[in-house]
Each structure stands twice: as structure tokens, then as C-alpha cells.
């Protein structure tokens, strides 16, 4: 799968989905993929970010080390993994705003057969993680993308909470993952490897 190009596109306010993205990158690289980890632009006012120390610290941490996604990255990628927190059972406005700019690529057929998968987080165990992933997949259906959900394809899925749509986590008030962190890491890496594998199959048929 050394010729598969994977873009991991995420939004994070305090770092949870950044961590998921990093684990996904590790799994994909172990499968031989060329990987880019990319953040979507922040839309929140600086005053709001500054009012939350964890948010402020995270934004400063990734300001230089993580590139901002561009439409060119979507064209480049054979596969895409999205990772976002839930906002009332839906994706954050930051991710939605980026996806709303992809109309030109969609119109020209540039997003057809991209292999996609998604991950999410919330502060409650039933806080909308699955709905958020499915909201992302709705856009992917319009793209003509191929969804590579993890399903129950490996025992590590059960150890991480059993979400067949995509790995999801619950975080407490301090931003720490409630689940077994090692189990989550294993599930994310499996999901990334599965995405890369399926993208490799698709590339061979094109």
C-alpha cells in the first residue's frame, strides 16, 4: 500500500481529536501510506479561545507544527480520515465550513471514489459521537466517496467501546479520555490501516 496517499483532516479545540489524528497517522504509516495530518481553520474568536486555557494552549501548540488543510490536499489524497468533536450531535462549524468549500471539486468529479472514514469525541458516553460520524458520512455520499467504516472487523473495536461507524471517545471535564487509552489507540490504528487497505484496492481498479 506504499502508493496510497492519506489525508487525516481534523478539528480540535483542546487536543483530543489531534491525538486521534496522530494515532491514525501512525497506523497508516505502518501500512506504508504517505500521510498528511491537517487541521481545518479555526473560526472561534480569539477572545473565546483565550478564555479557555486548554483551548489556548492547544491552538498555540499546533499553530506552526500542523498545516492547515487546503482543497489541493483533497485532490492529492486517495483516502481521507476525518476526526471531529461533536457539537449537538453534529460536526463542528469549523469542519462544516471547510466541507462547504468543496463544491468546485465535487462539480468537477474530483472527489469521486475517495475512500473516507471518520472518528469523533464527546464529553458524554452517549453525547452524539455516532450521529456526528454519520453527519460527516452524509456529505461523503454526495461526494461519491467510498466509506470505509471499521465495522466489527477486529476485536480491538470492542475494547474501544464497539462503535462500528468509527472510533469514538468520551472525555471528562479535564479533557482526559475516559476509555482505556491503549484500546482506543489500537482501534484508531486498525481503522487507519483498514482505510489504507481499501484505498489500495480502489487504486488498483482505476
Q: Which domains occur in the chain, in start order? A: 5-205 (3.40.50.360)
Question: Residue 4: pLDDT band by 50, 70, 90 thresholds?
Answer: very high
The single-letter DSSP state of residue 33 is: -
Q: How far is CA 96 from CA 24, 28, 183, 205, in A?
A: 21, 25, 29, 31
Q: pLDDT tens digit string along 90-114?
A: 999 999 999 999 999 999 999 999 9
Q: Which residue has the higher pLDDT, 54 or 34?
A: 34
Distance in angstroms (rounded) separating the CA atoms of residues 65 and 75: 22
pLDDT reported for residue 2: 58
* Residues 124-136, mean pLDDT to the nearest whole number: 92
pLDDT reported for residue 151: 97
* Residues 60-78, mean pLDDT to the nearest whole number: 95
Distance in angstroms (rounded) separating the CA atoms of residues 24 and 44: 26
Q: pLDDT tens digit string along 162-190?
A: 999 999 999 887 778 888 899 999 999 99
Taking each continuous run of H as one helix and of E as one strand, the counts in the chain are 9, 6
What radius of gyration, in Å, describes the C-alpha atoms of the chain? Answer: 16
Residue 75 has pLDDT above 70, yes or no: yes
Amino acid at each position: 500500500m506504499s502508493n496510497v496517499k492519506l489525508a487525516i483532516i481534523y478539528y480540535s479545540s483542546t487536543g483530543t481529536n489531534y491525538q486521534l489524528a496522530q494515532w491514525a497517522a501512525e497506523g497508516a504509516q505502518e501500512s506504508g501510506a504517505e500521510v498528511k495530518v491537517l487541521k481545518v481553520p479555526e473560526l472561534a474568536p480569539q477572545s473565546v479561545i483565550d478564555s479557555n486555557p486548554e483551548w489556548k494552549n492547544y491552538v498555540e501548540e499546533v499553530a506552526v507544527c500542523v498545516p492547515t488543510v487546503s482543497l489541493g490536499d483533497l485532490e492529492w489524497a486517495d483516502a481521507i480520515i476525518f476526526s471531529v468533536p461533536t457539537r449537538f450531535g453534529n460536526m463542528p462549524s469549523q469542519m462544516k465550513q471547510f466541507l462547504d468549500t468543496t463544491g468546485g471539486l465535487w462539480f468537477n468529479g474530483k472527489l469521486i471514489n475517495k475512500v473516507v472514514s471518520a472518528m469523533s469525541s464527546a464529553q458524554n458516553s452517549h453525547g452524539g459521537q455516532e450521529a456526528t460520524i454519520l453527519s460527516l458520512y452524509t456529505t461523503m455520499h454526495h461526494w461519491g466517496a467510498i466509506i470505509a467504516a471499521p465495522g466489527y472487523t477486529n476485536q480491538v473495536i470492542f475494547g474501544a467501546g464497539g462503535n462500528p461507524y468509527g472510533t469514538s471517545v468520551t472525555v471528562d471535564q479535564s479533557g482526559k479520555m475516559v476509555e482505556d487509552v491503549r484500546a482506543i489507540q489500537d482501534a484508531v490504528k486498525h481503522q487507519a490501516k483498514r482505510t489504507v487497505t481499501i484505498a489500495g484496492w480502489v487504486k488498483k481498479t482505476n
